[in-house]
Amino acid sequence: MSAATATSVRRGRRRRLDASLIVGIALVGVIIIGAILVASVGRNFFSAGNIRDILTGMSVLGFVAIGQTLVILCASLDLSVPYVISLSSLIAADMMAGNPANIPIAVLAVLVVAALIGLANGLIVTKLKVNGFIATLGTGLIIKGYLDTNFKGTSGEVPWEFQLIGATGVGPVPVSTIIMLAVAVAGAFFLARTRTGNHMFAVGGNEQVARLSGIRTARPVIVAHMLCSITAALAGLLLASRLGVGSPTVGTQGGYDLLSIAAVVLGGTLLMGGRGSIWGTIAGVAIFAVVDNVMSVMQVNPFLKDVVRGVVIVAAVAVYTSRSLDRRRPRFTAGSATADPAGGASARVGPDPLDNTRDAHTASPVEDHEKEGSA
């Protein structure tokens, strides 16, 4: 193995370690700092009640962030999620009307409506070639207009049997968190073991290369948007369970659109798509939950909470940017010049399978995903 190849392998391993460990290290650091701050006011960060509060805070954002991860992996965004959450809570509460017998049909109706909204988003993005940011913003505004026109306050009634989902737990672990983690397992399995899941990485990494490889690029994007809306609907059902009624503003008040995007990026998923993981996103959600819990225990001013959240979001984007620059920089190193004195001759004879210095947009996204998975 040449020195240049060995250097490329070491650099590639270092980047993979950065991607897999950076979120975990950040989460451990946040927990340690949080425990110290909570102890400074005479409270126990690791008490069962506090752990339960943190896990409860993770549930709703976790549902939304899981779906947002799928969309961002396809190099798109979904800004309609807060309005889907509000609409789902209202449909569920109105259809249940306090009757436990209506729970199954209400849940099914919510999931069907959410899937149709996601289908509309996916078709607008793939068939009309509208940027995902604009397409989902427009869809969200349409839903917002419907909610503002038809609902002036809370509506419906959730039966007690359904409220138990948001009120009970197994030890310190709420049932809602268990359901959210089960959805995360399903999402990770979907990405790792299904053809559509692998195609999401390929389409997000480079849509043109994916198309030339024989992949139907529209299908993964449409599926991602549908699953994102369905997970947002699950968040709406959970909020309806906790509140006991439906609310037209419960989604927007939580700021779940921007927070979910921030959690996904903080979890190591590239905003441009093609690389990331569900479990990284869950770690990002945990960081936000711990930060919010610590500030609540210390009775921090609500406006300062937004400042801290903003700092965390900016830090996440800074980490993302540095990783993107790191992926491009090695192409212009002295080692590359030494290995290829003819100025690109190596590219003409074919790529080195161990060379991790290629630009992400010229490399095969499927190959990159397989390398990351093997790590």
Are 235 and 227 in contact by the 8 Å Cβ rule? The answer is no
374 versus 41: the higher-pLDDT residue is 41
What's the average model confidence in pLDDT over 305-329?
A: 67
Would the pLDDT of 84 be above 90?
yes
Q: Is residue 82 part of a domain?
A: yes
Q: Predicted confidence band at 372 (pLDDT cuts at 50, 70, 90)?
A: very low
Would the pLDDT of 287 be above 50?
yes
b/e 281-311 (16+ beta carbons within 10 angstroms → b): bbbbbbbbbbbbbbbebeeeeeeeeeeebee
Write down the residue that tokens 């095969």 correspond to. 364
Q: Is residue 241 part of a domain?
A: yes
What's the average model confidence in pLDDT over 264-268?
A: 86
Share of the chain above pLDDT 90, in %: 50
| Domain extent for 134 | 51-325
Q: Predicted confidence band at 361 (pLDDT cuts at 50, 70, 90)?
A: very low
Would the pLDDT of 160 be above 60?
yes
Find which of 14-28, 243-257, 296-310 is predicted with most confidence, using mean pLDDT. 243-257
What was the pLDDT predicted at 4? 54
What was the pLDDT predicted at 324? 56
What does the alpha-carbon distance between residue 125 and residue 76 come to, in Å, rounded to a whole number? Answer: 8
Q: Predicted confidence band at 259 (pLDDT cuts at 50, 70, 90)?
A: confident
Nearest one of 371, 375, 3, 373 to 188, comparing CA atoms = 373
What was the pLDDT predicted at 360? 40
Nearest one of 79, 74, 223, 183 to 139, comparing CA atoms = 79
H-helix segments, the chain: 3-40, 48-73, 81-96, 103-126, 132-150, 160-167, 175-193, 195-205, 207-212, 218-243, 250-254, 256-266, 278-297, 302-328, 334-339, 345-349, 365-374
Query: In the numeric block, which tokens belong to residue 185?
Result: 């397992």
Strands 169-170 and 173-174: antiparallel
Q: Predicted confidence band at 340 (pLDDT cuts at 50, 70, 90)?
A: very low
Q: Tell me how crowded residue 163 is: count the other CB atoms within 10 A of its CB.
A: 15
Q: Is residue 365 part of a domain?
A: no
Lowest pLDDT segment from 85-94, 200-209, 259-268:
259-268
Would the pLDDT of 329 be above 60?
no
Q: Is residue 55 part of a domain?
A: yes
Q: Is residue 189 part of a domain?
A: yes
Q: Predicted confidence band at 270 (pLDDT cuts at 50, 70, 90)?
A: confident
What's the average model confidence in pLDDT over 356-374?
A: 44
- CATH number, domain containing residue 87: 1.10.3470
DSSP 3-state of 268:
coil
Query: In the numeric block, which tokens belong to residue 261?
Result: 């995007």
Q: Is residue 277 part of a domain?
A: yes
What was the pLDDT predicted at 218? 94
**Type of residue found at 205:** G
Nearest one of 370, 114, 77 to 237, comparing CA atoms = 114
Q: Is residue 172 part of a domain?
A: yes
342 versus 171: the higher-pLDDT residue is 171
What's the average model confidence in pLDDT over 180-202?
A: 95
Would the pLDDT of 319 be above 70?
no
Q: Is residue 187 part of a domain?
A: yes
Share of the chain above pLDDT 70, in %: 79
Ramachandran class of 274: left when φ > 0, alpha when ψ lies in -120 to 50, beta otherwise: left
DSSP 3-state of 246:
strand
Instruction: Tell me how many domains the chain contains.
Output: 1
Q: Tell me how crowded residue 172 is: count the other CB atoms within 10 A of its CB.
A: 16
Are 72 and 261 in contact by the 8 Å Cβ rule? The answer is yes
What was the pLDDT predicted at 20? 59
What does the alpha-carbon distance between residue 174 and residue 167 come to, in Å, rounded to a whole number? Answer: 8
What was the pLDDT predicted at 129? 92
311 versus 9: the higher-pLDDT residue is 311
Q: pLDDT for 28-60, tens place per residue?
A: 888 998 899 889 888 889 888 889 999 988 999
Per-chain mean pLDDT for the chain: 82
Would the pLDDT of 367 be above 70?
no
